[in-house]
């Protein structure tokens, strides 16, 4: 079986490097302090992302052993780059402090879980959220209630403890769980939306909704065949 492992390299910025970059500059201590706090936050959040990713891989492996079925097709992970983080802070009119980021932005660490069938989405959700150390802090079911665009996906934000040298800190991770078909639609729609000028995009909106519905029908058919086998 091909591996489903999340494929990301860590991008750590050390406190020492920050001090070397900014150190000594008169009056810039506060910048170094802020950068340090952001680097520490990114490290915890990225570790939380790895914790969740491992949990998901383990669940998939157990299913393979016991039920001869893999709910998960593959997992993608990304950390929000600092530029989009700043964009989001501005868009939401948030205070530019690490505290306000921690209290308001939950998609700095992101995982996308692509499942084989529609039912697998809710299986993955149930098995993950029932674990003792997992706290679900947000849930949006865009499958039962698709977005106007036609977008379907189950969005969760979960918190998981990350063990540090002398402490434990919980980090939030946004998880988008969706089928191969929903993922295909979201990728193409995203590309079309960003490459097309906004006025022309309107022309195709209804068409894209039709395509999303057609893909959903097809995946329900596959689900039915899978049930019968
Ligand atoms: P944000 O501030 O954007 O996070 O808004 P929100 O918290 O209301 O999040 P929402 O539940 O709308 O989900 C945001 C994420 O879902 C986006 O970053 C996309 O990855 C995905 N998403 C939501 N709607 C669409 C859509 O219509 N098309 C595509 N391709 N992706 C979408
Ligand atoms: Mg978001």
Q: How confident is the model at residue 76 (pLDDT cuts 50, 70, 90)?
A: very high
Q: Is the CB of 76 under 6 A from ligand 1?
A: no
CA atoms of 185 and 226, how far apart (whole Å):
22
Decide which of 220 and 16 is more confident: 220
Mutate to test the pocket of ligand 1, among 104, 107, 143, 211 (most ligand atoms within 8 A of CB): 107
Q: What pLDDT shows up at residue 74?
A: 96
Q: Say how many Å lie between the CA of residue 148 and the centre of ligand 1.
A: 12
Closest atom of ligand 1 relative to the 190 alpha carbon: 30
Q: Are 5 and 57 in contact (CB under 8 A)?
A: yes
Q: Is the CB of 139 under 6 A from ligand 1?
A: no
Is the pLDDT assigned to residue 94 strictly greater than 90? yes
Nearest CA to ligand 1 atom 8: 140
Q: What pLDDT shows up at residue 2?
A: 60
Q: What pLDDT shows up at residue 8?
A: 67
Q: What pLDDT shows up at residue 122?
A: 98
Q: Is the CB of 107 under 6 A from ligand 1?
A: yes
Tell me the residue ranges of DSSP E strands in 33-191: 72-79, 109-115, 135-141, 154-163, 168-179
Q: What pLDDT shows up at residue 58?
A: 96
How many CA atoms within 13 Å lie on the side-chain side of 123?
Answer: 18
* Mean pLDDT, residues 179-183 taken together: 98
**Token pair of 10, please?**
């860590």
32-36, 69-73, 152-156: range with highest mean pLDDT: 152-156
* Mean pLDDT, residues 57-66 taken together: 92
* Mean pLDDT, residues 60-86 taken together: 93
* Mean pLDDT, residues 111-128 taken together: 97
Closest atom of ligand 1 relative to the 185 alpha carbon: 30
Neighbours of ion ligand 2 (CB under 5 A): 107
Nearest CA to ligand 1 atom 23: 151
DSSP-derived secondary structure letter, 145: S
Q: What pLDDT shows up at residue 141?
A: 98
Q: Is the CB of 141 under 6 A from ligand 1?
A: no
Q: What pLDDT shows up at residue 202?
A: 77
Is the pLDDT assigned to residue 219 strictly greater than 80? yes
Closest atom of ligand 1 relative to the 187 alpha carbon: 30
Q: What DSSP string describes 109-124?
A: EEEEEEESSHHHHHHH
Q: How confident is the model at residue 200 (pLDDT cuts 50, 70, 90)?
A: confident
Is the pLDDT assigned to residue 218 strictly greater than 60? yes
10: left (phi over 0), alpha (psi -120 to 50) or beta: beta
Q: Is the CB of 189 under 6 A from ligand 1?
A: yes
Q: What pLDDT shows up at residue 193?
A: 82
pLDDT digits (tens, 9 = 90+) for 20-45: 877 767 778 888 888 899 999 999 99
Closest atom of ligand 1 relative to the 147 alpha carbon: 27
Is the pLDDT assigned to residue 171 strictly greater than 90? yes
Q: How far is CA 25 from the centre of its chain?
A: 38
Q: What pLDDT shows up at residue 14?
A: 80
Q: Is the CB of 149 under 6 A from ligand 1?
A: yes
* Mean pLDDT, residues 168-192 taken together: 96
């Amino acid at each position: 079986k091909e591996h489903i492992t999340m494929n990301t390299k860590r991008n750590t910025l050390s406190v020492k490097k920050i001090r070397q970059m900014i150190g000594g500059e008169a009056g810039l201590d506060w910048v170094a302090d802020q950068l340090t706090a952001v680097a520490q936050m990114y490290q915890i959040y990225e570790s939380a992302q790895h914790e969740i990713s491992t949990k998901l891989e383990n669940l998939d492996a157990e299913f393979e052993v016991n039920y001869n079925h893999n709910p998960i097709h593959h997992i993608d992970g990304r950390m929000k780059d600092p530029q989009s983080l700043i964009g989001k802070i501005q868009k939401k009119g948030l205070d530019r402090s690490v505290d306000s980021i921690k209290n308001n932005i939950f998609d700095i660490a992101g995982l996308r879980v692509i499942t084989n069938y529609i039912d697998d989405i809710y299986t993955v959700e149930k098995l993950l959220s029932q674990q003792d150390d997992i706290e679900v802090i947000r849930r949006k079911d865009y499958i039962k209630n698709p977005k106007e665009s036609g977008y379907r996906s189950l969005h969760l934000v979960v918190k998981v403890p990350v063990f540090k040298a002398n402490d434990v800190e919980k980090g939030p991770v946004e998880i988008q769980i969706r089928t191969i078909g929903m993922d295909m639609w979201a990728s193409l729609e995203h590309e079309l939306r960003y490459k097309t000028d906004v006025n022309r995009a309107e022309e195709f909106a209804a068409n894209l909704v039709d395509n999303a519905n057609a893909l959903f029908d097809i995946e329900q058919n596959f689900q039915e065949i899978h049930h019968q086998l």
